[in-house]
Structure 1
Amino acid sequence: MATTSRPGVSYVMPVLNEAGYVESAIRSVLEQDYRGPVEIVLALGPSSDGTRAIVERLAAADPRIRLVENPGMDIPIGLNLAIAACRNPVIIRVDAHTELAPGYTERGVADLERTGAATVGGIMVATGAPGFQAAAARAYNSRFGLGGGAYHGDDAKEGPAESAYLGIMHAGLLAEVGGFDETLRRGEDWELNYRLRQAGHIVWLDPKLRVTYWPRSTATKLARQFFATGVWRGELVRRLGARNPLRFFAPPLLVIATVLSVIAIPLHATGVLSGIVGWIAALVYLGPALYLVLLAVAGATSEGTPADRIRFASVIAIMHYSWGSGFLLGVVRGAGNAVDTSRTES
């Protein structure tokens, strides 16, 4: 039986077209053994796959679940609407594609109190059904796939961080910096943590806080998701410039080198590029060539059948090229009205 010996927590979850995942996500929250009052506030977008019926059924059966409408679908707006409806001093962000590990809430709130941080987050542990989704999960968990992000690997160290997955946050400090930026459609977590750090607060990473994440289940959906994420990261570079980590520039440089290589191949073959100019121009092949070596190493060192290994290497390429292409578009023209269609289109 929960007691009120711990501060109340409010889980906030943006939901759109998540019929296959949302019930498990909510169950993982309700099953947290937390010694304090809890509520779940769902920001419900205009789903077309039966998600609304699922969450309304769950809310009717449990008064801890409340719904707010998010007609515009944008995640930051939905998060702010949910946060505005919260009654408790601790806000915990969860996504409909995730499941919290047992003890997540108790440990996270203790971390928040122990460290004095504004927000605490943990590790994304991707998982997937056999086939493409499992390959995508392996790529998420591998430094070959999302290399550099502290919350994507088992070698993460506890301590202050640039960012952390999802977030267990002080409601007051969240309000102090203005909540999530509603002009963003992707990258809102990183941007919020950036503002918290700029305001002198601590973002704390605890790798013992683990969240299961279910990635997109098809190549098309994954490419759409990563392209949109790249576009919005490009928008953040336009806004913040060099204050973005250098690792974000690797995929777009790969895309540029690959495009230049495609242009250079026929020019070399026909002799248009020759002599010293040709040798200098041939340097553009180095990036794609090294990347092919990286994909080969990634596939060879991964687990599973030969088909699994090829699929894993292919997923990494989809991630990098989609993200890098989106990034370049975002830097050149801004994000505009770009959306992630991986949840709204089949």
Structure 2
Amino acid sequence: MTPEGLPSLPERPGVSYIVPVLNEAEHVASAITTVLDQDYDGEKEIVVAVGPSTDETTSIVTTLAAGDPRITVVENPPGDTPSGLNAAVAATQHAVIVRVDAHSELTPDYTAAAIDTLQTTGAANCGGLMVARGKTPFQKAVARAYMSKVGLGGPAYHSGDEPQEAESAYLGVYRREVFEALSGFDSTLRRGQDWELNLRIREAGGLVWFDPRLEVTYWPRSSFKKIMQQFHATGIWRAEIVRRHGSKNSLRYLAPPLLVVGVTASAIEASLQLTGKTRTWPRFVRRVSSLIHVPSLAYVSAIAGAAATAKDCGPRERALFGIVLPTMHLSWGTGFLRGLVTGAGSTTDKSR
């Protein structure tokens, strides 16, 4: 798995694209089309793992497959992302495996640039920049939050950076040896399975690489309810990964749950003040307890500042941006705290 241990790739290796889908009738055709339109002259195949969808996803995918021999459809009865990814990988044949999501669209040169990155760096996996975009004012506000360091921050693939060794990669362009050596994605992780596989790659001595040339358009969820459901589930599963892997996780994952604790403490203290229950406390205790509000006020100021200074958008999108940010943070944080206490169990992402 080390860069020195991976065999050299041919100039134009065959590429297998794996696409897990569930209830993605709105996006799946576009995602597959961007794969078919890749400006790459090596051999290509697309394996779509279809979960038990309740919309038109299955019929859309089977119709596309009937018209193009490069598309193969496999079933994913559990409907979970990692099981779909593993089922798709098992049906592939080429040396390079590219993960694609139904909510994503690849730029035409994505594959060629990724192959070049694998060849020049010796990486076992590489990924690039997730370029979130929206069609409605709400979706545009969510996309802005994804790309903002105040929003998700941390990983280079959210806000762009120089080419560098990375902790994880968005989607990922893998050497087949990864799946042969590490047995693929952990099917017990319904979310966060990419990060966990990249952890195992790094522990095995493999290189994970970020290259900003690799741009993927991502279309976020389209309503507050779906964003809350998505981020709550993500927080729960991140806590499950922390329970399993402890200090191997970045400290940045503690920020949202600490925010939830801070806001809750501030709300409790404010309630006690309003009901007069703090009047009997010693003056020193009252002064110290009032400091509980400082982190929450600082957070509100940061969100207000980010919304006020947001560029290239109108008042409505700016206001939505200011609401979306805490929605993401608090949903993720409450999910994390729940998952830390109870574990993820059978939690699913109900936004799908």
TM-score scaled to structure 1, two decimals? 0.96
**Cα distance, 1:5 vs structure 2:** 5.5
Q: Which residue in 1 is equivalent to 2:139?
A: 133
On the 8 A contact 1:120/1:167 being kept in 2, the answer is yes
**SS of the residue aligned with 1:144?**
coil
Map 1:168-317; keep pairs closer than 5 Å: 168-273=173-278, 274=281, 275-303=283-311, 304-317=313-326
Count residues in correspondence. 339
Q: Which residue in 2 is equivalent to 1:60?
A: 66
**Cα distance, 1:173 vs structure 2:** 2.1
**Cα distance, 1:16 vs structure 2:** 0.6
- Pick aligned residue for 1:319 from 321, 328, 337: 328
The question of 1:99 aligning with 2:108 is answered no
Q: Aligned partners of 1:313, 1:128: CA distance in 2, in Å? A: 16
Counterpart of 1:163 in structure 2: which amino acid?
S
- Pick aligned residue for 1:76 from 35, 57, 82: 82
**Cα distance, 1:34 vs structure 2:** 1.0
**SS of the residue aligned with 1:294?**
helix
Q: Which residue in 1 is equivalent to 2:344?
A: 335
**SS of the residue aligned with 2:162?**
coil
On the 8 A contact 1:121/1:165 being kept in 2, the answer is yes
Superimposed CA distance per residue, residues 213-248 of structure 1 (whole angstroms, 9 cap, x where no aligned partner): 000000100110000000000111111112111111
Q: Aligned partners of 1:192, 1:157: CA distance in 2, in Å? A: 23
Q: CA RMSD in A?
A: 1.1
**Cα distance, 1:305 vs structure 2:** 2.1
Q: Which residue in 2 is equivalent to 1:51?
A: 57
On the 8 A contact 1:25/1:100 being kept in 2, the answer is yes
Q: Aligned partners of 2:69, 2:292: CA distance in 1, in Å? A: 60
Q: Which segment is superposed worse, 281-290 or 163-172? A: 281-290
**SS of the residue aligned with 1:290?**
helix
**SS of the residue aligned with 2:304?**
helix
Unmatched 5+ stretches in structure 2: 1-9
On the 8 A contact 1:268/1:278 being kept in 2, the answer is no
**Cα distance, 1:124 vs structure 2:** 0.1
